[in-house]
Structure 1
């Protein structure tokens, strides 16, 4: 008898349909039971496509008393009293928030649906008052306290980053709306708000100081996402099939999965979490790919980097403290937004000074993010850029430094005049992007310190040692290679060595001259 094909819940966010339609489900209900049993008001921040919506849908089914959906899961064994409660589930992910009234319309639509169930009052004239009225009547009419689930609470604020007036409008709407959770405490059994980010400095939660932020709580780190143990328990057969299709050993397939999709750390000294969206797509298609990244990267992230003239090279080893990680500083500091959005993760922790070291979680994110940056920093589009990088790599691998240096000039063409005041940083960022991408195909080591840029690129047949002068001459660059003995480590290497000194011109805003030895 032919074995039934397993179906994967890619994009499936409704727990009831997932269970009834026979999708693969990694049992998170023991953790969910622990969450419900140990507190009442929670906030959880996780990157997009990490399963936040499915988590809320699972909680909704639980609070609605749908015991049959939990058959065979840990919740069936752990829960003794199945109580059916009213659930108010608000999903802000569905709206486009580009005008002050766009948020009002979404909130009004949801409240109107709840009022159809629990009634209205003519004295409730604001969104917050109507929300409070629904809560009170739901509790009175059912005799049970209410469960409140809010998905992507921060979507309006994220879409308004860079637009101070619009963000202020949204904050003024959301602050009293979320404040209802505190004023109506007696009618609430449980509340969970999820989102990508934490708006600490521009808080919409200042009237709601009873939220327990579990984003970095070790007890609940794997509420969303997939652990190494869960992957092997649930997908062992898929890993073997993937290895066969990709002509890999089982160990090689495991290492590649880890390299591509593991590495999310939501606190320090903890196990890594796999990206569930990419992992499920890989098992379904039996092909490695940048699945999570291809679902869309918000341009506001890059706008934050550019507006702050951020040094991209810092992203590989950024250090910061918990206060920064747990808040967003509007347009002043891009790192909290990028960390909370999942493009950086915790790589290490200095306990003495309370400093977190950040970096890209895995290759999918690193390569995808660097490729995404190209059209924002160069004249090349997303479509053109990969072809240009491959030409770069071919020329480097063929030992043609003249050709790839001429190509490098094209990456600096048409530098916008508004960047003149930050020209040095722009040069550094473009070089970082180009050689990071080259490094995915070759062995490239890129370092910066005290205004000095060093680059070593190694291929099967060649080694390139390059020095870039942003305020100097090509002769000075090549002299620095000699004086500081940058090439000495490669003297006994049989590969052909190129020493290259390059200088930039602030007048032409491009590479001016190079010397190759």
Structure 2
């Protein structure tokens, strides 16, 4: 059966499932993994395929996609036994700032807090896993119910800590559209405020995060 192109699709799983035309980019997984970098910034133009690549990486590594060899068995990455054994073995946090398009600093921070709160809701099983102390369970609830700006800055690092303990494996964070809040801040006149917030958030999440 002839493949269709499937214009605009950004979900790797759907492309494979629907047998859409796809240029195999799974060698990126090997290249990225073997670079052994703590943090990787992919700076490419719009419509270059960054979101689709992030979707592919998430489906490959995430424990939520364990035993999903069907997504990769016809791809280049599946030619090596080493990578077959890695599929679905890592805790992954995947989030996007694509919709953080607000006209004030306060609304931008609120939107980011909502995105983080949604992540915590997805991982709420951790709260009752027995791996968290009482104070950590209280923090978990606080993030979901209404975190402060300071809470938001440390929230992703703390979530990594919880996930690392639960899965006994370092965490992979995938952040798409990381610069959208910055672009909106520049256009709407709150650049200095968002730079300070994002700098602290990224420093805590990536640069000084021992759980990655």
TM interval, shorter chain, is: 0.7 to 0.9
Residue in 1 aligned with 2:18?
Answer: 21
Separation in 2 of the partners of 1:30 and 1:45? 18
Q: Check 1:60–1:48 CA distance in 2 against 1; reply closer, same or farther (3 A cut).
A: same
3-state secondary structure, aligned to 2:174 = strand
Residue in 2 aligned with 1:30?
Answer: 27
Mind listing any 5+ residue stretches in structure 1 that lack a counterpart? 189-517
1:118-197 maps to which residues of 2 (within 5 A)?
118-119=126-127, 120-122=137-139, 126-164=151-189, 166-180=190-204, 181-185=206-210, 187-188=211-212
Separation in 2 of the partners of 1:81 and 1:5? 31
Separation in 2 of the partners of 1:71 and 1:103? 41
Residue in 1 aligned with 2:92?
Answer: 87
Shift in Å, 1:168: 1.3
Residue in 2 aligned with 1:115?
Answer: 120
Q: Which one has a bigger Cα radius of gyration?
A: 1
Separation in 1 of the partners of 2:59 and 2:33? 13
Which of 66, 71, 75 aligns to 1:69? It is 71
TM, length-normalised to structure 1: 0.34
The answer as to whether partners of 2:100 and 2:112 remain within 8 angstroms in 1 is: no
Residue in 2 aligned with 1:42?
Answer: 40
The answer as to whether partners of 2:103 and 2:188 remain within 8 angstroms in 1 is: no
Residue 106 in 1 paired to residue 122 in 2?
no
Aligned length in residues = 183
Separation in 2 of the partners of 1:37 and 1:129? 29
Bigger relative contact order, structure 1 or 2 (CA pairs below 8 A, ≥6 apart): 2
Q: Check 1:160–1:111 CA distance in 2 against 1; reply closer, same or farther (3 A cut).
A: closer
CA displacement, residues 350-387 of structure 1 (integer Å, 9 cap, x when unaligned): xxxxxxxxxxxxxxxxxxxxxxxxxxxxxxxxxxxxxx
Q: Check 1:184–1:90 CA distance in 2 against 1; reply closer, same or farther (3 A cut).
A: same
Separation in 1 of the partners of 2:187 and 2:161? 37
Separation in 1 of the partners of 2:49 and 2:60? 17
Separation in 2 of the partners of 1:132 and 1:121? 16
The answer as to whether partners of 1:87 and 1:147 remain within 8 angstroms in 2 is: yes
CA displacement, residues 14-45 of structure 1 (integer Å, 9 cap, x when unaligned): 11111111111101111321111222310011
Q: Check 1:102–1:144 CA distance in 2 against 1; reply closer, same or farther (3 A cut).
A: same
Mind listing any 5+ residue stretches in structure 2 that lack a counterpart? 128-136
Separation in 2 of the partners of 1:11 and 1:144? 34
The answer as to whether partners of 1:121 and 1:133 remain within 8 angstroms in 2 is: no
Q: Check 1:89–1:16 CA distance in 2 against 1; reply closer, same or farther (3 A cut).
A: same
1:174-253 maps to which residues of 2 (within 5 A)?
174-180=198-204, 181-185=206-210, 187-188=211-212
3-state secondary structure, aligned to 2:172 = strand
The answer as to whether partners of 1:86 and 1:147 remain within 8 angstroms in 2 is: yes
Which has more strand, going by share of residues? 1
The answer as to whether partners of 1:114 and 1:134 remain within 8 angstroms in 2 is: no
Shift in Å, 1:163: 4.3
Separation in 2 of the partners of 1:17 and 1:169? 38
1:261-340 maps to which residues of 2 (within 5 A)?
none
Shift in Å, 1:88: 1.0
Which has more helix, going by share of residues? 2
C-alpha RMSD of matched pairs (Å) = 1.9
